[in-house]
Amino acid sequence: MASSKSRQRALARAKTERQIARRAAAARRRRQWQAGIGGAVALTLLVLAVIWKTGGFDPEKIPVAQCSWTPVDAGDGVKDVGKPRTNDVVTNGVKTMSVALTQGTVTVKLDPSKAKCAVESFTYLAGKKFYDNTPCHRLYLGSLLQCGDPSGKGTGGPSYRFPDENLPLADAPSADPSADPSAAADNTVLYPAGTVAMANSGVDTNGSQFFLVFKDVKLPPNYSVVGTIVGGMDLLTQIGAAGTQPGADGAVTNDGKPKTEVNITSLTVTDVAPQEEPAPAPSASTSAPAASSSASPAPSASASSKS
C-alpha cells in the first residue's frame, strides 16, 4: 500500500516538473521573440532617423525622373534594346551626331538643353548600334529625309516612347479670321533647312525615327526640334534632287522611298569639347520664304497616323 502511494507521488512530481519545464521553455521563446521584435523596431527607427536627418523625406530632395520611357508592346518593326537612363541625363552643352550614309556623312549638333530626352535617346540607341545598317525610308516634298526605322516600313522603332520636347511655337490665329481666312486655316510653321527633328505618330510618341530638313518646309508644329545639320547638306540635296520612287501605279509622288537608295551604315553620338559653342537649334516661324515647300502630310513614325 505504501509502495503504491510512493509511486503516485513520484508520478505527480514528475508531471509537475514537466509542466514547469514546458512553462519555462515557453517563457524563453516569448522573451526571444519579444527581443527580436524590439531589435527590428529599434533598427527601423534608426534607419528612419538617418533618412530624416539627411533630408530623405524632403520632397525637394527626392529624385524625380528627368526622362520617362513608356514601354511599347512587341510588334512588327519594334526592336527591344532596353531603355535609356531616367536620371543623370545631360541637360547642357552640345553633342555631335555623325550619321554615316551610303552617300557620305551628315554631321548634326544636338542640343540637350532644349531636348534632353531626345538627345539621351539618340546617345543610348547609338551606343546599342540600333541605327547601324538601317534604311532612310522616306523622302518628303524634296525637302526632308526621314530615317531611324530598322524595319524600313515607317512603323518601327525601339521598345519605348517618350514625350515631346522643344516643339515649334505657332503664331496665335487672328482674332478676326475674316481679315485673313488663309492664316486661320494654316496650322503650319516653318522648319528651316538644317533642322533635325523627331518623327512621330501622335502626341508624345517619339521613338527612334527622325528627319533631316535640307530645304525649308512648312509642317504642323508637332515635331520636337533636337538639333542642327552642320555638315553634309550637299549630300542631302543630291538625294532630294533624285526624287522618290514611283508609286504602285507608276505615278510620280513627292512622298515615298528615295529613288537613290539611302542607308545609315553607322550613327554615333559624341560629346563636344567644352570650349566649343553649341550651334543654336533652328526656330520655327509661321512665315516661309518663296522657296519653301507647301504644307502637306507631316512626317509620321507610324503608317496608321496621318500627318
96 and 178 co-located in one domain: yes
77 and 150 co-located in one domain: yes
- Length of the chain (residues): 307
* Rounded distance between C-alpha atoms, residue 116 and residue 114, angstroms: 6
Picking from 114, 102, 163, the residue whose alpha carbon sits closest to that of residue 280 is 114
Identity (one letter) of the amino acid at 168?
Answer: P
42 and 93 co-located in one domain: no
74 and 56 co-located in one domain: no
Helix H or strand E segment including 191? strand 189-191
90 and 33 co-located in one domain: no
82 and 132 co-located in one domain: yes
- pLDDT digits over 173-200, tens only? 544 545 554 544 579 999 999 999 999 9
Residue 286 lies in a domain: no
**CA separation (Å) from 16 to 2, 3, 24, 27, 161?**
21, 20, 12, 16, 74
* Rounded distance between C-alpha atoms, residue 125 and residue 256, angstroms: 25
* Rounded distance between C-alpha atoms, residue 285 and residue 253, angstroms: 27
pTM, 2 dp: 0.70
Name residue 271's beta-bridge partners.
Answer: 95
36 and 87 co-located in one domain: no
Which residue positions in the chain have pLDDT lower than 70?
A: 1-2, 51-52, 54-63, 171-185, 273-298, 301-307
Q: Beta strand 157-158 with 78-79: parallel, antiparallel or unpaired?
A: parallel
Identity (one letter) of the amino acid at 163?
Answer: P
Which pLDDT score is estimated for 16? Answer: 82
Residue 128 lies in a domain: yes
**Residue 170 main-chain phi, psi, to 5 deg:** -85, 145
CATH of the domain at 146: 2.40.100.10
Query: What is the domain count for the chain?
Result: 2
The CA-to-CA distance between both ends of the chain, in Å, stands at 111
Which pLDDT score is estimated for 111? Answer: 96
Residue 206 lies in a domain: yes
Residue 278 lies in a domain: no
134 and 256 co-located in one domain: yes
115 and 259 co-located in one domain: yes
- pLDDT digits over 3-37, tens only? 777 877 877 787 787 878 788 788 788 888 787 78
Residue 231 lies in a domain: yes
Domain enclosing residue 132, as ranges: 70-271
90 and 208 co-located in one domain: yes
Which pLDDT score is estimated for 32? Answer: 82
Residue 263 lies in a domain: yes
Picking from 159, 140, 137, the residue whose alpha carbon sits closest to that of residue 148 is 137
Which pLDDT score is estimated for 220? Answer: 97
117 and 156 co-located in one domain: yes
DSSP secondary structure letters along 226-267: EEEEEE-HHHHHHHHHH-B---TTS---SEESBSS--EEEEE
Picking from 89, 92, 42, the residue whose alpha carbon sits closest to that of residue 63 is 89
Which pLDDT score is estimated for 27? Answer: 79
* Rounded distance between C-alpha atoms, residue 229 and residue 106, angstroms: 7
Which pLDDT score is estimated for 276? Answer: 46
The DSSP call for residue 3 is: H
Residue 285 lies in a domain: no
151 and 235 co-located in one domain: yes
- On whether the CB atoms of residues 141 and 293 are closer than 8 A, the answer is yes
- On whether the CB atoms of residues 231 and 107 are closer than 8 A, the answer is yes
Residue 301 lies in a domain: no
Can you tell me which residue has the cell 504642323?
220
CA triplet 291, 242, 297: central angle to 5 degrees? 55
* Rounded distance between C-alpha atoms, residue 167 and residue 73, angstroms: 26
- On whether the CB atoms of residues 116 and 265 are closer than 8 A, the answer is no
